[in-house]
Amino acid sequence: MNTFQDLKFRAVIDWGKATQSWHQNVNETNKKQVIEIYPSGYVGNFSGYNDVLLSFVELERLIRNQDSNKDWYYPLSTISAVYLIYNSSTGKQYVGSASGESGGLWGRWLNYVQTKHGGNKKLIEIYKENKNQYLNFVFSILLVLPKGMSKEAVIKYENLYKKKLGSRAYGLNSN
């Protein structure tokens, strides 16, 4: 019976000194206090651009539950950025960019959640070969840029990172 399955990863409990034990016995004298219950779809607090490292599953939960992850939306929707998608099963990397148009980085990553490939040539090929390969994608931010920066300037930085990481020769970038 999964009575508490809905609270998995959401309930915050004060375990006291019992955090050092492998098991807990709850009785009338040993009650544990629930400190907080995070909203459904909660991914975690946004702790800064340098800390962003999201599996596709986490990214999808983040995007599909915007109300539960409000502190992520503003920082990601108000920037342009160069980002990295790492395929954890093959080791190959894709470098992309998001300009301030269409919701900044949030809007660009929303497109990945909706399509599973973001419209990128090699990622589309991977998707056609294996419909579940996108589940191995890990998203991170390489460079944060002002939302008002021109699309051409953002692409210049994207191309620089493609060269630095060799993602054209050894990765998933075709352009």
- pLDDT tens, position by position, 78-134: 999 999 999 999 999 999 999 977 799 999 999 999 999 999 999 999 999 999 999
The domain limits of the chain are 5-37, 49-165
In what helix (H) or strand (E) does residue 63 lie, and over which residues does it extend? helix 56-64
Share of the chain above pLDDT 70, in %: 90
* pLDDT attached to residue 130: 96
Whole-structure pTM value: 0.84
Query: What is the CATH T-level fold of the domain 49-165, as seen in this structure?
Result: GIY-YIG endonuclease (3.40.1440)
How do beta strands 93-98 and 79-87 pair?
antiparallel
Judge whether residue 27 has pLDDT over 80: no
* pLDDT confidence of residue 133: 97
4-11: Cβ within 8 A, 24+ apart: 6/40, 7/37, 9/38, 9/42, 10/37, 10/38, 10/39, 10/40, 10/42, 11/36, 11/37, 11/38
Q: How far apart are CA 154 and CA 151, in angstroms?
A: 5
Mean pLDDT, rounded, of the chain: 90
- Is 96 in contact with 171 (CB distance < 8 Å)? no
Owner of token pair 């599996």? 55
Alpha carbon 17 to its chain's center: 33
| Predicted confidence (pLDDT) at residue 49 exceeds the cutoff of 70 | yes
Q: Which two tokens stand for residue 65?
A: 């539950």
Q: Is residue 19 scored above 60 in pLDDT?
A: no
If one compares 12 and 76, the residue with the highest pLDDT of the two is 76
